[in-house]
Amino acid sequence: MILRAFFRFTIMYPTQYFRSIDSTNSRAKEIADAGAIHGAAVVAAYQTKGRGRLGKDWHSVQGKGLYCSIIVRPNVSLEEYPKITLVAGLSVALVLDKFILGRKSQLKWPNDIYYNGKKIAGILTESSAMAASREDRYAVIGIGVNVNQAAKDFPLELQETVTSMSIESGSEFKVDVLFQAIRLELLDQLQIFGDAGFQPLLNRWRKKDFLLGREMACVTTEGKKIRGIALGPDDEGQLHVRDIYGRIHQVLSGDVRLATS
């Protein structure tokens, strides 16, 4: 165990740092296509075109957040790649819990991390899972964390729905220290994924489920807009809800939100 830990910390994972970039995911995909290794990363102090899921913008504040993309080449089958987002979310949540002592994060399926009912971090995973050979496959995990922002740093329309590590703890954090911790945790959890399968990670994810038992609005895999009670993800990581008639629906991996009256 000690030897393994020593070996982990002697590995130098290549990292590209930028003061400003359009998108860390876009740059990470470029270097991944060129052969960048498992664990290589791109980090920026600011993104001009940061992206969230469904083409949404990710609001960046110069020097106050973590904006990074980590290239991973996990030892899992092609069919398992969609689960990487949940593994990444769990990894980020576990690290934030260590940094923000006394507070517990929650995970909003499929890709957001919450504290006190407000979003603190998000994940955007893009992959080349359809590459011809297994050796060429990779996933780029884009991670955005609100670190040292004050409430006034966010647009007015976001101030009621987002938070930061600093707001939650009253402290400031070193962004690069946070990044290094997240990268190592992510690689550890992906190692567990490859060695022991998805179930151990899913069990931990379920303990942090933000939506479980709540009424939510979503789109089913049949394209229907419905409201229902969140039942949590199944063993494959797919979210299900129960509508007012008791019917169970699988949720399309898209815009999932709490229902409003």
Q: Could you tell me where the beta strands, DSSP code E, fall in 26-138?
A: 41-44, 65-72, 106-108, 112-115, 118-127
CB 242 within 8 A of CB 228: yes
CB 145 within 8 A of CB 46: no
Residue pLDDT, tens place only, 44-94? 999 886 554 444 555 567 789 999 999 999 999 989 999 999 999 999 999
CA angle 224, 80, 144 (to 5 degrees): 75
Q: What is the dihedral of CA 191, 197, 201, 203, to 10 degrees?
A: -160
Domains 2-206 and 215-258 share a fold: no
pLDDT at 253: 67
Residue pLDDT, tens place only, 159-214? 899 999 999 999 999 999 999 999 999 999 999 999 999 999 999 999 999 999 99
Percentage of the residues of the chain whose pLDDT score is greater than 90: 73
This prediction has a pTM of 0.90
Query: Which helix (H) or strand (E) segment is 7 a member of?
Result: helix 2-10
Residue pLDDT, tens place only, 239-249? 999 999 999 99
Q: Name the CATH code of domain 2-206 (choices 2.60.40.4070, 3.30.930.10, 3.40.50.1820, 3.40.50.2000).
A: 3.30.930.10
Q: What is the rounded average pLDDT of the residues 138-148?
A: 96
- Class of CATH domain 215-258: mainly beta
Q: Where are the domains of the chain?
A: 2-206, 215-258
